[in-house]
Amino acid sequence: MKPASIAAQGLGWVDDHTRALAPPIHTSTTFIRDPDNQYRAGHTYSRDQNPTFDQAEAVLTALEGGHASLLFASGMAAATALFQALAPGDHVLAPRVMYWSLRNWLTHFATQWGLRVQFIDMSIPDEVRNAVQSGKTKLVWIETPANPLWTITDIALTCEIAHAAGSMVAVDSTVATPVLTRPFELGADIVMHSATKYLNGHSDVIAGTLSTREDSPLWARIKSIRAQIGGVLGPFEAWLLMRGMRTLFPRVRAACDSAQGIAERLAQNSFVDEVLYPGLPSFPGHAIAARQMHGGFGGMLSIRVRAKNGSATGEEAAIATAARVQLWKRATSLGGVESLIEHRASIEGAGTPVPADLLRLSVGLEERDELIADLEQALAQAHS
């Protein structure tokens, strides 16, 4: 089956006992041993072996084209499990512009455990070449497109540079999803998703995932960390995630189509200074995105709002624009069926690299023309 069919049919799995098409939810925390003291059914304790995980993990592994996948309680739980699997003193590279919560964690927590974290502009290959330390850099973390400026990193080239220095590469592919990019085919070793976003797609589950291209000692440590620390998903949440993944392909394709049209329209708006969207030919990294993203450029874009007359910056106008939308929802997160708008700098606070005039837009499944009209009226009112 092609990936879209794999997702829609959930690999074609049917419950063995009832022949039910929808999978059951297993709430049991523990499982019976065989008389000879073995666990031939494959499940011992539900903290890391709940049967409800199995289908979602198998589907994601098939979509990514990897060896195995693991569900976690959140995207942060998934990402931090990977970094915790490294050893004190290990050197890691991460992008300057990335998901803010993980950047904060790397800055304030990972360093306390002895990791040496260096932030660079991951979109510039020479910065990667100059920063990677042969035999010492154990992990290069990529996020592409990178939240919330949607910076594009060349995955294949970065993997080539990192692997030559003996480093593994992990890709946060939350925004691209397996619909648009398959990082393993470009050389990545680990793929992470905040499954809260597009994989689930309905703003009702907090979840994270890690997938690996091949089995390795690092992957064994990650599995142990999930089991020992207990950052696992509940069975009902795992069931909801699997249900959301069945519609992943049509949702992402629709969001990409609308986001492209919205970006092209807003690029002509006199109240917008800049549209940040990889699908625009003028966007830095567009050519790389076109090479490694297939079928669209994602459902996320940002706009930098022009300052009102007499204002030094566009911050006031940006906040006023968000206050005046009617169809878009003012909320944090992304990847759901509802279109969301957010003044991102307010969320990230002091030290954020995000411009104060930036609004982040997560395009949902509403009618594109209505989304455009709502933004246009809000921008006009904010500048009146």
The answer to whether the bond into 3 is cis (omega within 30° of 0) is no
Alpha-carbon distance of 190 to 82, in angstroms, equals 9
Alpha-helix residue ranges (DSSP H) falling in 217-327? 217-229, 235-245, 248-266, 286-292, 315-324
Say if CB 241 and CB 233 are below 8 A apart.
yes
Structure tokens at 294: 């297939």
Structure tokens at 151: 């910076």
User: Which one-letter amino acid corresponds to residue 363?
Assistant: V
Alpha-carbon distance of 4 to 1, in angstroms, equals 8
Compute how many other C-beta atoms are within 10 angstroms of the C-beta atom of residue 227: 16
What are the residue numbers of the active site?
Answer: 47, 99, 172, 197
* Residue in this structure with the two tokens 């993997």, named with its chain if needed: 159
Q: Kindly report the backbone phi and psi dihedral angles of residue 271, in degrees, each rounded to the nearest multiple of 5, phi listed first.
A: -95, 5
